[in-house]
A and B are shown apart, each in its own frame.
Chain A
C-alpha cells in the first residue's frame, strides 16, 4: 500500500482525501484491457487464449488433457502474448 508521506502524517492533515484500501492495493492492468472481450475472470483473457489456441493449432501442440506444455512452447506463447498487447 502506498504509505502517506511522513510529513503529512506528522502534521495530522485531517483534510487529506483518502482512497479505499483496494485502490491502494490495485495494480495496473496492461493497456488495451478494455478493448478485448470478456471471457473469463480476466477481461483480456480472450486475446491470450486466441493466441494460445492459434499456436496450439499451428504447432500441433498438446491436447487439452495432456500434461504441461514444454518450456519452449510456453516461451513461444508468452512471447506471442506480449506481442499483442
Chain B
C-alpha cells in the first residue's frame, strides 16, 4: 500500500503548496486538507476496554506516512445551519479536533510534525524559557506582567526594554481600510505609558539587547540550518521581521557553535517537537541569547533569502520517509526558488487570489 504524507494546513499556505509540489515531483502524492472549509467531513473515533482509540472517516491512518500539522484552522462556517447555532457548532467542532489530537498516538506510529499536544505546549512562551533555562540556553531577563508598578520598575532598571505581546495581531480600520500591526517595540523611561493601558495588556518585557546580528535556526528532524540576519546599511534592527518589510536584510549561512547546537537539540527534545524555527540574537560582546522557538514557523522566506539552505528539500524528505533521520537522497530536484518558477506556484497564486477573501487568508485581523 502506498502511503501518503498528510498536510493539515490552510489553502493559503504557500509552504504547503511548495511541499506538495516537491513531493509530487518525487512521485509521492500528498493529501492536503484543512478542516476549516469542510465541516461535514465524516469522522469517527471508537474505543473500548481492550482497544485504543481508532479513527475512521477523515483519513485512514494506515495510509499515512507522516502528518504535517501546520496550523490548520477549525471548521468555522456551517452551511445550512441556523446562524444562532454557529457559535455552538464552532465550539463543538473545535473541541472534537482538540480531543482527537490529544489521543493521536493511538492512531499508529505515524510521524507528526509536530505532535499536536507537544506543539500546543511549545507555543507557550513561558514554558519555552523555562526549558531554555534547563538546557543552559541564555536568554534575556524576562518580565511577563500587566502590573504598572512592576513594568515601570523593570524599565527603570534596564533603561531600554522591548515589549511584545503573546501573539502578533493586525488591526484594520474599517473606515479607511488601513492596517496596523505591532511586532516588538522599545520602551524607555521617556515612554508615555498609561497605567490603565498596561493593566489592560499583559505582555512580555525584556531588556533591549545591543545586537550584532540575529540568527534564525530552522530545525527539521535531526538537521539544523542556521542563517545570520543583519540590515545591510545599518546596525542590527529591533525586529528583523518588521524591518524586512522596508529594508534590505543581508542573510547568509552561519555555523552555530557545537555547544549551542547541542543545547538547541536538547530544547527541541524537551519540548517534544521535531520541527521548529528558533530566534537567537548575538550581542556586541559575542554572547548568544535565546528569544523563542516557533514550532510552526515559516521556512520558505529563509530559503528564498539564502537559496543554498535546502529547507524545502529537507521537509519533503522528512515527510516522505516519515523519519527524523531522513536521508537527503530520499527526494531530489527540489528547491524553493524552483517552486517559485514553477507552474504549480502560478496555479496556487491564481487560486488564492481569485477564490478567497483576503481577510480570511491571513486570519486574525481585528476590525475596528
Q: Which residues of A contact B (CB under 8 A)?
A: 1, 3-4, 18-31, 33-35, 37-46, 48-50, 53, 63-65, 67-69, 74, 77-78
Contact status of A27 and B182, CB under 8 A, knowing A40-B300, A42-B244: yes
How many Å from the CB of B76 to the closest CB on chain A? 18
Closest to A23 in B: B171
B12 within 8 A of A: yes
Could you tell me if B179 and A29 are in contact, using CB atoms closer than 8 angstroms? yes
Question: How far is B233's CA from A19's CA once the two chains are assembled, in angstroms?
Answer: 35
Could you tell me if A64 and B300 are in contact, using CB atoms closer than 8 angstroms? no
Across the interface, A49 reaches (CB within 8 A) one of B182, B304, B353, namely: B304
Question: How far is B284's CA from A39's CA once the two chains are assembled, in angstroms?
Answer: 31
Taking CB atoms and an 8 Å cut-off, the chain B residues in 288-344 that contact chain A are: 298, 300-302, 304-308, 337, 340
Question: How far is B192's CA from A30's CA once the two chains are assembled, in angstroms?
Answer: 26
A–B pairs, 25, beta carbons within 8 Å: A20-B201, A21-B198, A21-B200, A22-B203, A23-B182, A24-B197, A25-B163, A27-B182, A28-B180, A29-B170, A29-B178, A29-B181, A31-B178, A34-B358, A35-B358, A39-B301, A40-B301, A41-B241, A42-B245, A43-B170, A45-B245, A45-B301, A49-B304, A64-B306, A74-B248
Known: A22-B201, A74-B248. 12 other contacts (CB 8 A): A18-B196, A19-B197, A20-B201, A21-B197, A22-B169, A29-B181, A38-B13, A40-B304, A42-B242, A53-B340, A63-B307, A69-B248
Chain B 1-31 interface 0/1 with A at a Cβ cutoff of 8 Å (1 = within): 0000000000011100000000000000000
Question: How far is B193's CA from A29's CA once the two chains are assembled, in angstroms?
Answer: 23
Q: Which residues of B have CB within 8 Å of A74?
A: 232-233, 248
Question: How far is B193's CA from A45's CA once the two chains are assembled, in angstroms?
Answer: 32
Chain B 348-361 interface 0/1 with A at a Cβ cutoff of 8 Å (1 = within): 01001100001101
Closest to A66 in B: B252
Q: Using a Cβ cutoff of 8 Å, how many contacts connect chains A and B? A: 131
Closest to A49 in B: B304
How many Å from the CB of A41 to the closest CB on chain B? 4
Question: How far is B358's CA from A29's CA once the two chains are assembled, in angstroms?
Answer: 15
Question: How far is B185's CA from A2's CA once the two chains are assembled, in angstroms?
Answer: 14
Contact status of A78 and B358, CB under 8 A, knowing A20-B201, A23-B171: no
Question: How far is B191's CA from A69's CA once the two chains are assembled, in angstroms?
Answer: 37
Could you tell me if B197 and A28 are in contact, using CB atoms closer than 8 angstroms? no
B362 within 8 A of A: yes
Closest to A24 in B: B197
Closest to A40 in B: B301
Q: Indicate the member of B181, B241, B298 with the most A CB atoms within 10 Å.
A: B181
Interface size on B, residues (CB 8 A): 54
Taking CB atoms and an 8 Å cut-off, the chain B residues in 211-243 that contact chain A are: 232-233, 241-242
Consensus secondary structure, chain A interface: loop
Question: How far is B307's CA from A62's CA once the two chains are assembled, in angstroms?
Answer: 12
Closest 7 CB pairs of A and B: A40-B301, A64-B307, A41-B241, A26-B180, A21-B201, A3-B192, A34-B358
Across the interface, B250 reaches (CB within 8 A) one of A34, A68, A77, namely: A68
Q: Which residues of B have CB within 8 Å of A77?
A: 248
Could you tell me if A34 and B198 are in contact, using CB atoms closer than 8 angstroms? no
Could you tell me if A38 and B362 are in contact, using CB atoms closer than 8 angstroms? yes
How many Å from the CB of B302 to the closest CB on chain A? 8
Across the interface, A42 reaches (CB within 8 A) one of B178, B200, B233, B241, namely: B241
Could you tell me if A39 and B192 are in contact, using CB atoms closer than 8 angstroms? no
Contact status of A21 and B300, CB under 8 A, knowing A45-B245, A53-B340, A74-B248: no
B194 within 8 A of A: yes
Q: Indicate the member of B179, B198, B302, B362 with the most A CB atoms within 10 Å.
A: B179
Contact status of A43 and B196, CB under 8 A, knowing A25-B163, A28-B179, A64-B307: no
Could you tell me if A34 and B361 are in contact, using CB atoms closer than 8 angstroms? yes
Q: Which residues of A have CB within 8 Å of B365?
A: 34
Question: How far is B301's CA from A43's CA once the two chains are assembled, in angstroms?
Answer: 11
Q: Which residues of B have CB within 8 Å of A34?
A: 179, 358-359, 361-362, 365
Across the interface, B180 reaches (CB within 8 A) one of A3, A27, A39, A78, namely: A27
B189 within 8 A of A: no
Across the interface, A65 reaches (CB within 8 A) one of B170, B304, B306, namely: B306
